[in-house]
Amino acid sequence: MTPESPEVAEAAPPEAAAPNRRRLTAGEVREYLLAHPGFLAKNPEVLEHQALPARADADGHRVVDFQRALVDRLRNDNAKLRSFQSEVLTAARANVSAQGLVHEAILLLLEAESFEHLIHAITLDLAPMLGIDVVTLSVETLEAAPERPSLQNFYLVPPGTVDGLIDPGRLVRLISEPPEDTLIFGPATPLVQSQALARLDIGGESPLGLLALGSREATKYEPGQGSELLGFLAGTIERLIRLWLRPTD
């Protein structure tokens, strides 16, 4: 057996190998590695699956093997890197999926044929499209004790409600807890375990509004998550409401 023969065997695709091909012996593997000292340097992943022997000095006492410690550290680092890469890929796929859902939702809102149709699409059609349980729209009113209109998932709330839920200067807030009261989600409140809130500033003399998304999944919305898509959706809704409320000649 020549040193080159194992390379020829490795080059052959698995499907081309004969089912009864002779397996290499330990001696042949040792001979190949001795003949190719750069093999492990070019294929470091092989070391990750090998058990390394303990080192001993001339008297037979065990000594600290820094090389082995380094290899073990590299193994752990590689395992952490693979786990991190997997998490990044999972998050990227989820983000692409969420982005596609938001784009479809915006296209739906753009098709509204009237202001009432737009409100209906926001409060009733968005939730199933986004894969959540409820979407509500709230508007502040100067009335001391506002009565809620009959339109489903559309509520009138006291002045200061939006700033009380979202700090002034912020557009979005993600909350991984159930609502404290039924003011924003109404009858759907018992379902909501996490919520995403977005400020709606229509501008002019119009009062502040609030777009609220609720999910029964406690980890659906959590502080620290990216909120760019929700901000984009809220910004689109702001502009559409302005267009429908704009005076016509």
User: Which pLDDT score, from 0 to 100, does residue 53 have?
Assistant: 62
- Around 246, how many Cα atoms within 13 Å sit in the side-chain half-sphere? 9
Per-residue pLDDT of the chain (249 residues; tens, 9 = 90+): 444 444 444 444 444 445 567 888 988 888 888 898 888 778 877 766 666 666 665 566 665 555 666 677 777 777 777 777 776 666 556 565 677 788 888 999 999 999 999 999 999 999 999 889 999 999 998 765 455 556 789 999 999 999 999 999 899 999 999 999 999 999 999 999 999 999 999 887 788 999 999 999 999 999 988 888 899 999 999 999 988 887 665
pTM of the model: 0.61
The closest alpha carbon to 170, from 144, 197, 143, belongs to 197
Distance CA 43, CA 126 (A): 51
Distances (CA, A) of 76 to 41, 55, 65, 89: 18, 21, 17, 20
CATH number, domain 112-245: 3.30.450.40
Contact call for residues 171 and 230 (beta carbons, < 8 A): no
For helices 66-110 and 228-245, what crossing angle results, to 10°?
10
User: Which pLDDT score, from 0 to 100, does residue 206 have?
Assistant: 83
The residue ranges of every structural domain in the chain are: 112-245
